[in-house]
Structure 1
Amino acid sequence: MKPDEQSKLKFESNYKSFEWLCIQTKEARDSFNAQPYKKDISILFVPTDCELLIDFNAYRTTKPTLFFCGYQRIQLLKGINAISLNYSRDFYCIQIHDAEVACDGLLFQNAGQFPATELSPDEHSIIENLFSEIGEELRLKDSSMEEMVRILLKQIIIRATRLWKQQQLPNQMLETPAEVEFYRNFNQLVEIHFKKWHSVADYASVLGLTAKTLSNKFNRLNLIQPNEIIKSRILLEAKRLLCFTDWSVKEIAYELGYEDPAYFNRLFTGKVGDSPSVFKKKFNEGKNVQ
């Protein structure tokens, strides 16, 4: 998009919404950052040498990169000329349409590996064109616009999923599609059940394995251990609730399935390095927390 063209385009119909936002100025970036929490799905197309804060982790791009976010706090700390697609699950739900794009548990709902996809020059050109085409469709407001935007969105997701697997997964997994599906399935289960299932054994039993076999399988595939993925998801939700709600530590512990708040407090402190109350205090004071 050219600098003098419209930088924000939006479609809304009943519960469906889709927004195309081009962040071209510092003022636009500040406005984007002012949103404390994004409840819609977001795909952020970021150029080289940008710095971002997503949830509680910092990233710096060395290549044009796509970031895939759902229910996350996103801040663009350095750089402009980024484009953000924000859409409701009623517009396009990846869980319902999983067979179409096969990204659930990889680009989204993946507590073990954050979904950032770097783009080669060729892929950058293709993705840039797809983002531009979405902007043109929203501007035209043709009767078929909604479905065309959905088709273009799916192309972005499918291409990014293929690239992400090539960049993030071990070669032995790519050679065996069943292993990729197994990994996706595990991540999906974690996202659904992390508030009540806290042990590897809980997930292993559903997958028809013992806890030891599941851990050995992840080790053989050079993946982050399942126990770490489970705990990472629990702690991420704890951080979100601490920083974006007025719930007490005890209420958060109960929400995450811990009947003993003291145990939850010890778990959080041991993994994060600060107690829940100190973490919240630092966040409210504007200090960097991870």
Structure 2
Amino acid sequence: MIIPTLRRPELVLRAVNSVLQQTMQDFEILVIIDGKDDASEKSLGTITDPRLKVTMNPQSQGPAQARNIGGSQARGTWSTFLDDDDEWLPNKLEEQVRVARELGGDRILLAAQFIDSGPAFERILPLRDPDPGEDMSEYLFCRKGPLRVQGLVQTSTYFVSTRLLQEFPLKAGLTPHEDYDWLMRVSKRCDRPFTVVPGPLSIYHNEQITNREGAGGNFDFHWDYAHRNRELFTPSAFSFYLSVFCTPSAVKSTDKWKRLRMVLRGIWQGKPSLTCMTTFLGFAFFSLETRRKLRNTFQAFAGSKKPA
């Protein structure tokens, strides 16, 4: 498994220890320290297990390139990712290896449900599996059903054939879309359909759940990314992507109405659904505070609120 880290000596130690506690013990741990970080190097030096290999980049190259370095070093059939501030549950590897073997093939991509643990809520995500034959872009971006549920693939649940990771490394410099971009590209090269293993297998320590905004980045980045990589999206996913990622940053810009008109025209160049249009209107005309209240109401209704 591959763990990129930088200046989080206590957290990365927790992450590594969660791997060492796996029910399946046939693995190697590749920690890539992405830049000079004596504290993390010292912290990891307290672990004497020979399966741990630590590489320090002289200069930071970003998480995507750190994962690529780990992928180039990997010797096993399977590669997995773990963020340095997350944890695996003990049966994570065993369950995903079992599913991968049942599926068969040389190019496999799996994820899993996970525990999204924040200060006020704890819930199991994603809330839905991929539909049969569903394109990765639609799973990631299209909101479906009365509760407008979309798919979610959290980095610490990735499980992929090492061969596939080495043939198709992540593209660096696409923050915050390095993971989305890789998932959409690599899923098209798999021998079997993308699968989400049921039951939580990791813990995502989401310390900013109340502040999480679907977009991140800026308008120009999101707009340019969607149009430069149009071939990665189905028409429906393209429309949803613009609604979810471009609309919030358009609202914050000084030329708000001009950019909202751009987004609306772009949405109609894809295949917008009624849910897509209501998503656009929600981001365009409702405040973040209002959307938070609605989201928190849904979370409480779904039984995700932590007990007192």
Q: Which TM-score applies when normalising by structure 2?
A: 0.28
TM-score, normalised on structure 1? 0.30
